[in-house]
């Protein structure tokens, strides 16, 4: 996991501590969390000790178990949110294994249900989530540059720059970069 504005190791360390804290708050052993998430005990243990950088798919599974969006989880390892979020202060997280980069343009804040994410998928990137982090999550995906294939409820939509897809997430989703250039899109997320 990388970060443009904070040290990647620092973010990994804080994320690892938060993941361990969440499991402890629920009173679960690594085995219980593995059963609930479908992630192996060894992978969970290594993620909680910051020995590995969790992938987007792994974080999505853990978010589903803990009832959080990925942005909510990542915001919990950052400083307290402010009303004005300057570009230089927007957290950037990169999953190099899948070619996915996300910028928290407007991270979640107590009392607000929406957030804005600026996402980029590298050419050839194919990112799948087996479940929503929060069932019924409302999403508005607006393609800014490039082409994107989005599969929701087993229907695939091919999107070009300027296209917007609106949906609620109840099951698995898939995001694939179309073409030989990265695809950049804005994702507006509204908690149910």
**Residue 147 host element (H or E):** strand 147-152
Of 32, 31, 94, nearest to 59 (Cα)? 94
pLDDT in tens, 79-136: 555 678 889 988 899 999 999 999 999 987 766 789 999 999 999 999 999 988 888 9
Cβ atoms 147, 177 nearer than 8 A: yes
Cβ atoms 93, 74 nearer than 8 A: yes
pLDDT in tens, 45-66: 999 998 988 888 899 999 999 9
- Give the pLDDT score at 9: 62
Of 85, 77, 133, 80, nearest to 105 (Cα)? 85
The C-alpha atoms of residue 37 and residue 172 are separated, in whole angstroms, by 14
For the chain, give the percent of residues with pLDDT over 90: 64
For residue 139, pLDDT over 90 is answered with yes
What the block records as the tokens of 33 is 């969390």
Angle at 39 between CA 110 and CA 116, to 5 degrees: 30
Average pLDDT in the chain: 89
pLDDT band at 177 (very low <50, low <70, confident <90, very high): very high
The C-alpha atoms of residue 124 and residue 180 are separated, in whole angstroms, by 7
Of 173, 79, 100, 179, nearest to 134 (Cα)? 173
The C-alpha atoms of residue 83 and residue 34 are separated, in whole angstroms, by 37
- Give the pLDDT score at 167: 97
- Give the pLDDT score at 4: 42
- Give the pLDDT score at 1: 39
For residue 8, pLDDT over 90 is answered with no
3-state secondary structure of 149: strand
CB-CB neighbours of 192 under 10 Å: 11
pLDDT band at 2 (very low <50, low <70, confident <90, very high): very low
- Give the pLDDT score at 10: 73
pLDDT band at 3 (very low <50, low <70, confident <90, very high): very low
* Interval 172-184 mean pLDDT: 97
Of the given ranges (4-18, 63-77, 145-159), which has the lowest mean pLDDT?
4-18
Strands in 147-152's sheet, in edge-to-edge order, are 126-129, 173-178, 147-152, 155-159
Query: Which pTM value belongs to this model?
Result: 0.66
């Amino acid at each position: 996991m990388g970060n443009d504005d904070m040290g990647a190791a620092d973010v990994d360390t804080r994320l690892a501590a938060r993941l361990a804290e969440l499991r402890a708050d629920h009173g679960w052993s690594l085995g219980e969390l593995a059963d609930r998430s479908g992630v192996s005990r060894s992978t969970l243990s290594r993620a909680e000790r910051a020995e590995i950088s969790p992938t987007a798919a792994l974080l999505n599974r853990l978010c589903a178990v803990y009832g959080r969006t990925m942005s909510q989880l990542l915001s919990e390892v950052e400083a307290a949110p402010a009303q004005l979020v300057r570009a230089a202060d927007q957290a950037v997280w990169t999953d190099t294994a899948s070619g996915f980069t996300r910028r928290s343009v407007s991270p979640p804040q107590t009392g607000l249900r929406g957030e804005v994410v600026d996402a980029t998928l590298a050419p050839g990137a194919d990112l799948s989530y087996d479940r929503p982090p929060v069932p019924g999550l409302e999403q508005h995906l607006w393609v800014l540059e490039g082409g994107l294939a989005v599969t929701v409820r087993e229907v695939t939509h091919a999107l070009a720059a300027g296209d917007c897809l609106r949906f609620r997430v109840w099951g698995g989703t898939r995001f694939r970069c179309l073409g030989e250039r990265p695809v950049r899109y804005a994702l507006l997320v509204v908690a149910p």
